[in-house]
Amino acid sequence: MTHSPSVTPTADSVSPRAREDKESIPLWRRDLVDCLSYLGQRIETALDALLPPVEEHPNAAGPYGVCPARLARAARYSTLGGGKLLRPKLTLLAAEAVGGDDAIENALAAACAVELVHAYSLVHDDLPAMDDDDLRRGRPTTHVEFDEATAILAGDGLLTLAFGAVVAGVRPAERAAACVGILAEAAGFRGMVGGQMADLQAESIPREQGSVELLEAIHLRKTGALLRASLTMGAAASGANAELTTALDEYGRALGLAFQIQDDLLDATGDPAKTGKKVGKDLELGKWTYPAFLGVEESRRRARSLVDQAVTALRPLGDRSARLVGLARTLLERDR
Amino acid sequence: MTHSPSVTPTADSVSPRAREDKESIPLWRRDLVDCLSYLGQRIETALDALLPPVEEHPNAAGPYGVCPARLARAARYSTLGGGKLLRPKLTLLAAEAVGGDDAIENALAAACAVELVHAYSLVHDDLPAMDDDDLRRGRPTTHVEFDEATAILAGDGLLTLAFGAVVAGVRPAERAAACVGILAEAAGFRGMVGGQMADLQAESIPREQGSVELLEAIHLRKTGALLRASLTMGAAASGANAELTTALDEYGRALGLAFQIQDDLLDATGDPAKTGKKVGKDLELGKWTYPAFLGVEESRRRARSLVDQAVTALRPLGDRSARLVGLARTLLERDR
């Protein structure tokens, strides 16, 4: 399971010292699965510390007061619900590719910010006035588990927290400000929010009048922008130069589109026990998807070609991009 | 109308040179009305430039694409709708009190950010799942004029833009990062968003079980936090020391509560032609308000006392706080 030179003990038998040794293994000496699992743990711990606690003593409150318990529960439910944490892992891998192992600590807040924005966008997109989804990751969506008002406010709070996390965690201030700028552009009117709007508008256009080009223009904003920002924020947190930043941005662009095609393919052909969604739901709803426009085989071919493009884009990073290359390759094998 | 030594020409007769002269009059040489009107114009021009244009050529788009026209229209409708611009004016006055006239330019983006957050909060608070209001500033609310999905997304975009504006406009990066941190704390789970949640929860508690202390704890988050942040962001943009920042924060805290009491008084006794709202709507809905708990006269007394507190807090700023003192005094006279 691991390329680490030390014997990997089971969780039960790990002494504090051994655990410390295990945690201090640099990323480049871990295999991809171990590396991603380690990063996932770091991100979950950091997210847990950032989110408001459910019960807070007034003395521990911020300058204005405490977060109401129900709102804190909804925020935690929406964020810590067992997501894949793909985006924040990309942030940390990009930071490490540019700045080495030491760069991960400094990029952790930027990684959390990306996941908080992703979580908020799911909560708001699932609302009755938007995509009206009841189920997410196999659990009731936030507005079903709580209520609409709580879901709207939880989303608003998560988005706000994302920016606060960046300036509280990324050093020096120039890099924090750069990350805030990248995130605001990617999540804003010309990025994710604009893409969701375009997606909702496309619903009233019959599929026969759509095209794969229009579909791609939506995805580049709705999901692609944040995925690209995940990488360029990691680069910015590590002080990357323009060449490496562009390389990571191009990798993110191709990976984002490949990821979206794979999402559409999973909807059309995946195992509902793994995806947590009904098969063919998109097709049934007349949604614009890659398989609907191109067929399953051509969609698969396009996803493979995009993964190749993503890998090629990483050339300026040389050996340091090995984990990002590995991640892109495994994308085509994912089943949820 | 003005203390400026030059004769003030009418708008029609202003030559470009005279206009430039008029614009270059320092704030401290203008009377309060002229000063606030000048700041209001600066803020509106800056907001207009920050918001996405309704029609955008793809070549002028951001890295991910353009903002859909309908969403840009909704964002502009929600922000440029003739608000009082109290909060951003406070930001600029605080920046000027600390750093002089030259500090206004650098704080302009922070001022816009505060107004964008205020505008987004109104759009989301007015939604059917929240306060369910149809009318705002005498016009249909955003979800009535457009639709719910557009209103949710416009709010999300405005909040996101606020943080992007700060890092794009405030220099150096240390001050921009400080402003982002203040805004995120004030607008977030323990600030404005938490206050709106607490306010919604209070609706299900009969007024007899409420108290003015609980009401105040809600207001300190729901409206007070952003008002205080308006001032401390202005201070941060000008590099204020801890003493002046605390003075401005205390001024903001007292002013915010006084402002809220005045709001409640206007609802109970104001002129609907000026407030744009039905008289006694809050009372009818069984809402927690200062007049409901304290009566009209005691509420007025408390507002006066808070304005005195606000003015006293400004002492460390000396003469430089004259315009902030003037603004606090006029608060008690406002009728809309």
pLDDT tens column, B235-271: 999 999 999 999 999 999 999 999 999 989 998 887 7
**ipTM of the modeled complex:** 0.92
Asked whether the beta carbons of residue A157 and residue B193 sit closer than 8 angstroms, the reply is yes
- Residues of chain A neighbouring B184 (CB-CB closer than 8 A): 160-161, 163-165, 167
pLDDT at A192 over 60: yes
Residue B146, pLDDT score? 98
Q: Which helix (H) or strand (E) holds A140?
A: strand A139-140
In 10 A of CB B128, how many CB atoms? 17
Cα(B109)–Cα(B49) distance, integer angstroms: 11
**Which superfamily does CATH assign the domain made up of A28-331 to?**
Farnesyl Diphosphate Synthase (1.10.600.10)
Is residue B239 within 8 angstroms of chain A, CB to CB?
A: no
pLDDT tens column, A35-63: 999 999 999 999 999 999 998 877 777 89
Interface of A with B in 70-109 (CB under 8 A): 70-72, 75
Cα(B206)–Cα(B195) distance, integer angstroms: 18
Residue B152, pLDDT score? 98
pLDDT at A321 over 90: yes
pLDDT at A19 over 70: no
CA A275 to chain centre: 17
Domain boundaries along the sequence of chain A: 28-331
* Choice between A145 and B81, residue whose per-residue pLDDT is larger: A145
Q: Are A11 and A44 in contact (CB under 8 A)?
A: no
pLDDT at B7 over 80: no
Residue B8, pLDDT score? 41
Give A183→chain B minimum CA distance, Å. 8
SS3 B137: coil
pLDDT at A238 over 50: yes
* Choice between B267 and A281, residue whose per-residue pLDDT is larger: B267
Residue B9, pLDDT score? 42
pLDDT category of residue A276 using cuts at 50, 70 and 90: low
Asked whether the beta carbons of residue A164 and residue B184 sit closer than 8 angstroms, the reply is yes
Any idea what DSSP says for residue B135?
E
pLDDT at B103 over 80: yes
**Which range is least confidently modeled, A70-79, A182-191, B14-23, B152-161?**
B14-23
Residue B22, pLDDT score? 65
Preferred mutation among A47, A51, A64 to probe B, highest tally of B CBs within 10 A: A64
pLDDT tens column, A123-181: 999 999 999 999 998 899 999 999 999 999 999 999 999 999 999 999 999 999 999 99
pLDDT category of residue B21 using cuts at 50, 70 and 90: low
Cα(B199)–Cα(B217) distance, integer angstroms: 10
- Residues of chain A neighbouring B173 (CB-CB closer than 8 A): 172-174, 176-177
**Which among B130, B174, B200 has the least Cβ separation from residue A173?**
B174
Cα(A142)–Cα(B42) distance, integer angstroms: 41
Hey, what are B187's tokens? 């607008």
Residue A81, pLDDT score? 75
| Phi, psi for B136 (deg, rounded to 5) | -150, 125
Query: What Cα–Cα distance (Å) separates residue A226 from each residue in A68, A74, A83, A252, A298?
Result: 29, 23, 16, 9, 26
Cα(A150)–Cα(A77) distance, integer angstroms: 12
State the Cα angle at B120 between B116 and B122, rounded to 5°: 120
Q: Are A86 and A75 in contact (CB under 8 A)?
A: no
**Which among A149, A178, A188 has the least Cβ separation from residue B157?**
A188
Q: Which helix (H) or strand (E) holds A136?
A: strand A135-136
Q: Which helix (H) or strand (E) holds B121?
A: helix B103-125
In 10 A of CB A336, how many CB atoms? 13
Cα(A81)–Cα(A75) distance, integer angstroms: 10
Query: What Cα–Cα distance (Å) separates residue B41 from each residue in B37, B47, B48, B89, B316?
Result: 6, 10, 11, 10, 29
**Which among B129, B159, B221 has the least Cβ separation from residue A156?**
B159
Q: Phi-psi region for residue B318, left (φ > 0), alpha (ψ -120 to 50) or beta?
A: left
Any idea what DSSP says for residue A1?
-
Hey, what are B317's tokens? 């700023």
**Which among B68, B165, B172 has the least Cβ separation from residue A194?**
B68
- Please choose, from the candidates A228, A176, A278, the residue with its C-alpha nearest in 3D space to the C-alpha of residue B175: A176
Is residue B325 within 8 angstroms of chain A, CB to CB?
A: no
**Strand A135-136 to strand B139-140: parallel, antiparallel, or no bridges (unpaired)?**
unpaired
pLDDT tens column, B121-139: 999 999 999 999 999 988 9
- Please choose, from the candidates A263, A234, A248, the residue with its C-alpha nearest in 3D space to the C-alpha of residue A105: A234
Mean pLDDT, residues A267-280: 74
**Which among A124, A149, A180 has the least Cβ separation from residue B167?**
A180
Class of domain B31-331: mainly alpha
Give B8→chain A minimum CA distance, Å. 41
Give the percent of chain B with pLDDT over 90: 75
pLDDT tens column, B199-222: 999 988 888 888 999 999 999 999
SS3 B204: coil
- Residues of chain A neighbouring B188 (CB-CB closer than 8 A): 157, 160-161, 164
Q: CB-based contacts of A90: which residues, under 8 Å, 6+ apart?
A: A114, A227, A230, A231, A234, A252, A255, A324, A327
Residue B67, pLDDT score? 95
Helices (H), chain A: 16-23, 32-50, 69-79, 86-99, 103-125, 142-145, 148-169, 173-187, 192-202, 212-219, 225-237, 242-269, 272-275, 281-284, 290-294, 296-313, 322-331
Residue A1, pLDDT score? 36
Q: Tell the residue number behind the tokens 């192992």, with chain if given.
A: A101
